[in-house]
Amino acid sequence: MLNRQSPTSLLEFEKVGRVFRTDAGPVHALKGISLTINVGEFVCIAGPSGAGKSTLLNIMGCLDRPSEGSFRLAGRDVGGLTERELATLRSLAVGFVFQDYGLLDSMTTLRNIELPAEYAGVPVKECARQAERLLRFFDLESRKVHFPAELSGGEQQRVAIARALMNGRRIILADEPTGALDSQASEQVLSLFQELASQGNTVVMVSHDSSVANAAARRIELLDGTVVSDSGAHREAAVPARSSLTMLQRTQTAWSAVAQAMRLGIESLRAARLRTALQVGGPVLGVASAIALLGLADGTYQASLKVVGSMGVDRVGIGQLPQPGLATLDTDDVRSIEGLDNVREVTSEQIGMMLVQRGGKDAVEAQVSGTQQKPDFMRTLWPLAAGRYVNRQDGEGMSQVAVIDHTLRDRFFAPGEGPLGEWINVEGVPFEIIGVLAPHPIMQEEPYRSRPSFPPFIFVPFATGKEMLFRDGESMGIGAYVEDIDRLEETASDIRDLLIRRLGHENFVVSTDRLLFGTFRDSIRSRITFLVAIAVPALLAGAAVTMALMLGAIRQRAQEIAIRKAIGARRGDIMRQFIAETCLITLAGISLGVPLGFFAGYVVELVLDAPSAYEPWYIWVVASIAFASALLSGILPARRASALDPVAVLSRE
Ligand code: ADP
């Protein structure tokens, strides 16, 4: 609705008061101000410091609202508008020009000028087109890709004025615009304002410098929040006020809002390299330590599996039951068990007490084992003192070779006499000694060490033993070692099914050490849970570091945020940008933290000899937790930043 009195009255104050509530009590910055500024006027508001000039300007710029009375912009009462509507009005109707130019250091000339249109939801191409036109008008084309720090004061102020005119805005509100300029640049700015006003733009400038004030056609003097003199409206433009407010609707899709937040986020992260590097540090350390811890947890698990292997917990035992007349287990059964899923290794043996003799010495009763265990596996169970283990070729060739333990060596041979290549008789069958076993490791430990003695032990090839020493089916034993210990029982029942199919009857027992396994699993799981439980807080700590630095940066960035708001950013724009920054920081942290974590795990493995193992899924789990926690922790700083009151920040300057 337009003002009834005059179609050209653009900024109308009616008994406007503005009270600031401070700790020291209320401050009446404006008291009963009534005045009207028309379209196309160039007005200077003068007065001493603290007179209320900036407060008046902020109300004109829709950054602030009167505490009492009414302020109308082109006939529209601003007092009743929401914060969001005020932001839209700022981006589409009024442009601010500050004493210190208020340009964003992270952006080039072109980007600074474009920004209000971007916040107004204008498509990127259209933003650039409008900005290029203003660049030409203000003779700034050669400075297009320069950053503010590379421009002179006069140039920066021209960029700020160009920015104020973006979006077809025709009201310029300038707070001491020449305060930081030399006289030549000041004159240039003032004549620009005169030119703009003559073209139908409205310029309101605050200055306490009388030579500057003289450039304006109208001068309004403030003192203690009231108007003490007003030279009166000079110019009655033929332009109706309504044309100064073009479209007031902001249209922007969700996607373009996100893309905009990302673009603005990248710009400000890139501009503040040190701060960004510090912020990235949090997630880098969190992600890296989580990855390293998971690797160590899994490494511990794998290493424990090996230990368990040596304890025999991962073993499915298959024992022959003596039932005459039925088919018994043989080497083909062993081969077929080897083919089963989850079976890592199969050993088979027959054991019996037999008389062993050498030369003229007394016969000794010894435990003889016909074995089919692979030498590599034997080595982990019972080390050699000399020679070699029996192997499959020995069995296939029916070789009469044997490995004896150290007690038999001591009994049959004098110290210094080499037993390798010598012969012994087992139940009257001659065997050549090819290896001597060291004392069994477990016999070195309590309670076995203090036991009197175990019978002497001899290994012979399984096939040779079966053919020459053992009766058919006699105490045949098969051990199947599993890959995945969690599936031990499942594999045991697969073996049982397989053997029933092969033999046609169940004259064997399949057994596992379930109790031992359960104990093992519980202890391993608690260790792994412990390591994983440290990994999660490490990730959260990473997110907390980012949040703390973000919160800290808001104070530093208050000026920047206030400027963004002054040129039309809404709360949502600021919020989205800060969340976008957190996301980008976290993504950077993840992509650096993952390789660093793998590397750290590798170093720990090398230096501390702690085993580690890595799976690709760690990356997804760690990255998702890191990202989710960053998003959550990014909300608080983003809310703080978006809630910042630009008036309070700008008045602090
Ligand atoms: P000028 O621009 O003429 O120097 P201001 O409009 O900045 O004057 O301030 C007018 C009065 O209002 C001063 O006393 C100032 O301290 C006070 N004031 C301005 N802004 C705030 C604010 N955000 N909070 C509290 N007091 C304020």
pLDDT tens by residue, 71-94 = 999 888 888 888 888 888 888 888
**Tens digit of each residue's pLDDT (9 = 90 or more) over 193-245:** 999 998 889 999 998 888 888 889 899 999 999 999 998 775 555 555 544 44
**Tens digit of each residue's pLDDT (9 = 90 or more) over 319-362:** 877 677 777 787 788 889 999 999 988 888 888 889 999 987 78
The reported pLDDT for the residue numbered 396 is 86
Q: Is the pLDDT of residue 530 over 80?
A: no
Mean pLDDT throughout 40-56? 92
Mean pLDDT throughout 178-191? 88
Per-residue confidence band for 488, with pLDDT thresholds at 50, 70 and 90 = confident
The reported pLDDT for the residue numbered 66 is 93
Cβ neighbours, 10 Å, residue 89:
20
DSSP designation for 79: G
Residue having the nearest C-alpha atom to atom 6 of ligand 1: 52
User: Whole-structure pTM over 0.75, yes or no?
Assistant: no
The reported pLDDT for the residue numbered 234 is 58
Question: Mean of the per-residue pLDDT values for the chain?
Answer: 85
How far does the centroid of ligand 1 lie from the alpha carbon of residue 576, in Å? 31
Distance from C-alpha of 227 to C-alpha of 486, rounded to nearest angstrom:
87
Q: Higher model confidence: residue 16 or residue 451? A: 16
Please state the atom number of ligand 1 nearest to the C-alpha of residue 55: 6
Q: Considering only CA atoms, which of 515, 512, 506 is closest in space to residue 487?
A: 512
Cβ neighbours, 10 Å, residue 514:
12
Per-residue confidence band for 474, with pLDDT thresholds at 50, 70 and 90 = low
DSSP letter for each residue of 595-612: HHHHHHHHHHHHHH----
Q: Is the pLDDT of residue 139 over 50?
A: yes
Cβ neighbours, 10 Å, residue 309:
19
Q: Is the pLDDT of residue 43 over 90?
A: yes
Mean pLDDT throughout 141-155? 92
How far does the centroid of ligand 1 lie from the alpha carbon of residue 46, in Å? 15
Distance from C-alpha of 512 to C-alpha of 480, rounded to nearest angstrom:
10
Q: Considering only CA atoms, which of 61, 180, 162, 174 is closest in space to residue 112?
A: 162
Q: Considering only CA atoms, which of 632, 72, 537, 533 is closest in space to residue 297?
A: 533
Beta bridge partners of 365: 355
The reported pLDDT for the residue numbered 180 is 83
What is the residue extent of each domain of the chain?
Answer: 103-168, 268-306+521-652, 314-512
Please state the atom number of ligand 1 nearest to the C-alpha of residue 645: 23
Mean pLDDT throughout 48-55? 91
DSSP designation for 151: S
Ligand 1 pocket, residues with Cβ under 6 angstroms: 20, 22, 27, 29, 47, 49-55, 647-648, 651
Residue having the nearest C-alpha atom to atom 26 of ligand 1: 20
Mutation choice for ligand 1 from 67, 228, 651, CB with most ligand atoms inside 8 A:
651
Mutation choice for ligand 1 from 18, 20, 652, 653, CB with most ligand atoms inside 8 A:
20
Structure tokens at 508: 């064997």
Per-residue confidence band for 147, with pLDDT thresholds at 50, 70 and 90 = very high
Q: Is the pLDDT of residue 302 over 80?
A: no
State percent of the chain over pLDDT 90: 32
Mean pLDDT throughout 591-600? 91
How far does the centroid of ligand 1 lie from the alpha carbon of residue 90, in Å? 21
State percent of the chain over pLDDT 70: 91
Mutation choice for ligand 1 from 27, 96, 209, 222, CB with most ligand atoms inside 8 A:
27
**CA distances from residue 258 to 116, 232, 279, 574 in whole angstroms, order as listed:** 17, 47, 21, 11
Q: Higher model confidence: residue 583 or residue 236? A: 583
Q: What is the distance in angstroms between the CA of the first residue and the CA of the last residue of the chain?
A: 36
The reported pLDDT for the residue numbered 244 is 42
Structure tokens at 17: 């008061």
DSSP designation for 455: P
Q: In terms of residues, how long is the chain?
A: 653
Structure tokens at 338: 């080897």
How far does the centroid of ligand 1 lie from the alpha carbon of residue 645, in Å? 14
Residue having the nearest C-alpha atom to atom 20 of ligand 1: 651
Residue having the nearest C-alpha atom to atom 17 of ligand 1: 29
Q: Is the pLDDT of residue 249 over 90?
A: no
How far does the centroid of ligand 1 lie from the alpha carbon of residue 171, in Å? 23
How far does the centroid of ligand 1 lie from the alpha carbon of residue 186, in Å? 25
Instruction: Print burial letters for 568-594: b (CB count within 10 Å at least 16), e (below 16).
Output: bbbbebbbbbbbbbbbbbbbbbbebbb
Q: Considering only CA atoms, which of 580, 583, 615 is closest in space to residue 601?
A: 615
